[in-house]
Amino acid sequence: MYGPSQPAQQAQSRDLVASVAKLDRRGLILTGDFNSTPWSFTLKRQDKALGMRRWTRALPSWPSGQFSRVAAAPSPFLPIDHVYTGDGWRAISVERGPAIGSDHRPVVVSLRRSPK
- Whether 3 is covered by a domain: the verdict is no
Residue 45 is given by DSSP the state: H
The predicted pLDDT at position 2 comes to: 47
pLDDT by 10-residue block (mean), the chain, 116 residues: 64 95 97 95 96 95 83 87 98 95 94 91
Query: pLDDT at position 1, please?
Result: 46
What confidence score (pLDDT) does residue 109 get?
Answer: 98
What order do you get walking across the sheet with 29-33 strand by strand?
29-33, 81-85, 53-54
Whether 91 is in a domain gets the answer yes
Cα–Cα distance for residue pair 88/98, rounded to 1 Å: 28
CATH (domain of 63): 3.60.10.10
Tell me how many domains the chain contains.
1
Closest CA to 46 of 77, 11, 78, 2: 11
**Structural domain of 96:** 8-113
With respect to residue 64, please indicate whether it lies within any of the assigned structural domains. Answer: yes
